[in-house]
Amino acid sequence: MTSRGWWNGSEAIAGAPRSRRLRVDQDEWLRAAADIAAAGGHLIAVWASPAAETALAIVMRAALFTDLGLLVLELPLPDGGSYRGLHEVFPATARMQRAAFDLVGVRSDDVDTRPWLRHAAWAATEFPLRLGSQISPLAPTGEAYEFVRVDGEGVHEIPVGPVHAGIIEPGHFRFSIVGEKVLRLEERLGYVHKGIERRFTELPALEGHRLAARVSGDSAVAFSWAYCQALEGLSGCLISQRAAMLRAICLEIERIQNHLGDLGALGNDAGFAFGLAQFSRLKEELLRTVETAFGQRYLFDTVVPGGIGADLSLQTGRALADRVRAVANSALELHDIYDEHSGVRDRFAGAGEVKPELARRLGLTGLAGRASAQPLDVRLDLPTRPYDEFTPARIVREEGDVAARVAVRFAELEESCRLVQLLIEKLADGEQRVAMAPPAAGKLGVGLIEGWRGPVLIALETGPDGSILRCHPHDPSWQNWPVLEHAIIGNIVPDFPLINKSFNLSYSGHDL
């Protein structure tokens, strides 16, 4: 069966445009994923949910991006037993499936059964997201985690983290090296155990957007918009065009802020402190203007159910457009300086290369994917208002190295500045926020928004009384962290900070 054949048997889901669901059995689960992959589809997320009827029933879900839209496969596991994993079709699912076991207790047939999120923080027989579960935190036990070892003459290991020298979230990196050349890198993440997914079930549905914005703080707008998109779909709420345009302004500002910060840090990692100073100045000037316009430097509480929490006046809108225009002009000058600086160019070119074929196989996504010839951009390929009218340019490179990821950032920065100015100029009249009814009970809604890092998904399930039964937030870093392990192979250890920053993946997005 083709991917279209699977789509034809599905039913609509509330929330993101062109989203559908399809219930499958064990054989169809794997076959549908393989057919969609063969047709050029993309994995968005895999997660497990407890069914409302009984604490033993589990539903595995896989969100797949097809040429027709977003298809969510649903595999019921009535006894909470094992299932056939998708790791051979979509390698990025391996860690997602391990996380599903840690949180819900259903095991795939993958031979890698090491815990991913648990870290001995609770008993191996307890599962935080099972209905009615009571988790008792454990004292540290020193439970061993079996990293893959590389043997051979002259091979050494360098353990880095999880506690780092700077202000950074915890993550462990185990390097196997000969001299300074990296033979292998293995990561381990998820040390904080924030309890985000469990906390969602304790909140009223109309308040969950604030928690969503804090899943990964650098993507606050993307996550809160995805949450509100799912919730508004479940409530039958249509926001005004003005609110949609203001959300897009905020999303593009978030993209600009992150690109400014990372381009400066990348210059610094290449020994070019001038770049860090200049991009830090531009980011600070933008943040001050954003605070005047929206009341917050970082837009955690701006996207709200039914619309937007802060409107733009004529005066603040003009000031924001002027600031963004100035940022764009300065960034163009800095782009030329980066390109002409021989030391920066030598550090960027060829470092951390991910060839398009490998990127396609491993499911590299977002800006890092577009730097390796993977063109997916949800703003273009599954546009929600106002991106159906205000269309960004698709920016793709194929070299796949640090230089390509930097080039994509510069181009996306320029394009986002253009979009913000255009959206402010064309800003529609209308209500800032509309009233919302409670969400429908016993339903599934999905939100899918292209954050600055890549596609951000929220899957929101309501219980029989309309409360949150399950909310699964998915950051694109789940796909991209494993690719970083490949990108560093053959490079020298001192280039890791540069290569790592060129991806700039989320630790927090793993700590659910």
Quote the crossing angle between the two packed helices 273-294 and 314-340, to the nearest 10°. Answer: 170
Distance, C-alpha 87 to centroid of its chain = 19
Does the pLDDT of residue 135 top 90, yes or no?
Answer: no
Strands 455-462 and 468-474: antiparallel
Are 263 and 120 in the same domain?
Answer: no
Maximum Cα interatomic distance, the chain, rounded to a whole number of Å: 70
Question: So what's the pLDDT on residue 320?
Answer: 98
* Residue-level pLDDT at 169: 87
Cα 237 from Cα 164, distance rounded (Å): 45
Q: Within 10 A of 343 (CB to CB), how many other CB atoms are there?
A: 10
| Total count of domains within the chain | 3
Residues 269 and 395 occupy one common structural domain: yes
- pLDDT number for residue 78: 85
Q: Are 72 and 19 in contact (CB under 8 A)?
A: yes
* pLDDT > 70 in the chain, percent: 98
| Residues 434 and 484 placed together within one structural domain of the fold | no
Q: 357 and 332, same structural domain?
A: yes
Q: What single DSSP character describes residue 257?
A: H
Q: What is the mean pLDDT of residues 30-41?
A: 96
Residue 104 sits in a domain of what CATH number? 3.30.460.80
User: Is the peptide bond preceding residue 497 cis, with omega within 30 degrees of 0?
Assistant: no
**Residue 5: pLDDT above 70?**
yes
Distances (CA, A) of 312 to 83, 238, 309, 396: 50, 20, 10, 32
Q: Are residues 116 and 167 in the same domain?
A: no
Q: Which of 172, 216, 41, 190 is nearest to 121 (CA)?
A: 190
Same domain, 429 and 309: yes
141 and 267 inside one domain = no
Q: Residue 193 — pLDDT band, cuts 50, 70, 90?
A: confident
Give the whole-number percent of the chain exceeding pLDDT 90.
Answer: 87
What does the pLDDT read at residue 140?
61
User: Is 0.85 surpassed by the pTM of this model?
Assistant: yes
**CA pseudo-torsion sign 345, 350, 354, 357:** positive
127/248 same-domain check: no
Q: Domain range holding 34?
A: 1-147
Over residues 39-78, the pLDDT tens digits come to 999 999 999 998 765 556 899 999 999 999 999 999 999 8
Paired strand residues for 185: 175
- Copy the structure tokens of residue 428: 């529609």
Q: Once rounded to an integer, what is the mean pLDDT over residues 105-118?
A: 94
Say yes or no: 439 and 371 in one domain. Answer: yes
Which residue, of 89, 121, 147, is where some domain finishes?
147
- pLDDT, one tens digit per residue, over 459-494 is 999 998 889 999 999 999 999 999 999 999 999 999
pLDDT-derived band of residue 142, with 50, 70 and 90 as boundaries? low
Q: By the 8 A CB rule, do 188 and 448 touch?
A: no
For 271-330, write each residue's pLDDT tens digit.
999 999 999 999 999 999 999 999 999 999 999 999 999 999 999 999 999 999 999 999
Statement to judge: residues 369 and 283 lie in one domain: yes
Same structural domain, 307 and 334: yes
Say if residue 205 is in the same domain as residue 341. yes
Query: What CATH code is carried by the domain that includes residue 362?
Result: 1.10.645.10
pLDDT at 55: 58
- Cβ atoms 17, 382 nearer than 8 A: yes
* Of 132-146, 317-331, 408-422, the least confident: 132-146
Q: Which residues share a beta bridge with 66?
A: 69
7-32: average pLDDT: 95
